[in-house]
Chain A
Amino acid sequence: EIQLVESGGGLVKPGGSLRLSCAVSGITLRTYDMHWVRQAPGKGLEWVSSISTGSSYIYYADSVKGRFTISRDNARNSLYLQMNSLRAEDTAVYYCARGVGVEAAIYLNWFDPWGQGTLVTVSS
């Protein structure tokens, strides 16, 4: 069974930093693109960032560009999201998701499965 388990969420003050982790089991992480998607309380889904299998291709939403950094450790079967300069509008549940689709075509991915999410609250 494929499992994605996020951790690292919590309460942080505006301007602070957090590092989210996504532990993956049941698959070999190095063969899949990976993604972060977030959902603010009571709101819809918002794509945050994506990383290709070998980290050659990395993409960010404009709302987080320059503040967030996605990375992966294929040996540890883990995905990360370093979040700096956090703002109140970054408050959300953050989900990691496996990308499935055509090899070397991250833009053709679909997200399956998703983790259960980790809540990040940015507040003073």
Chain B
Amino acid sequence: QSVLTQPPSASGTPGQRVTIFCSGSSSNVGTNTVNWYQQLPGSAPKLLIYNNNQRPSGVPDRFSGSKSGTSASLAISGLQSEDEADYYCAAWDDNLSGWVFGGGSKLTVL
């Protein structure tokens, strides 16, 4: 059972907008910044969003992040087949003195 809660799966058709939510608590998401990672099949994770809503250079602006209270979300607009991947949210947890990850959301492009 992961400390951060994500839906195990999400799906959409090409061109659609999909949102993946990440639910935490006051000791993690509610207090600290949230980062999102993308893991393509057979590859290492890659940073997708940092500090709740910042995109690293090279990440398309189709990807966006937001946070409100103890929940965060990752939105992907203009869905493309190459977006099929696992997506993880992560945040520092003040009570655990360590990072916690969501269980991951597998995105399928139909």
Contact = CB atoms under 8 A, between A and B. Distances in A.
A interface: dominant SS: strand
Nearest to B31: A107
A110 B55 CA distance: 12
A8 to B, nearest CB: 16
Interface residues of A, number: 25
A13 to B, nearest CB: 27
A18 B54 CA distance: 37
A116 B45 CA distance: 9
Contacts of B102: 44
B44 interface: yes
Contacts of B99: 35, 47, 50
Contacts of A115: 44
B32 interface: yes
Given A112-B56, A114-B45, A114-B46, 5 more contacts: A47-B98, A108-B92, A110-B47, A110-B51, A111-B90
Interface of A: 35, 37, 44-47, 50, 59-62, 95, 100-101, 107-117
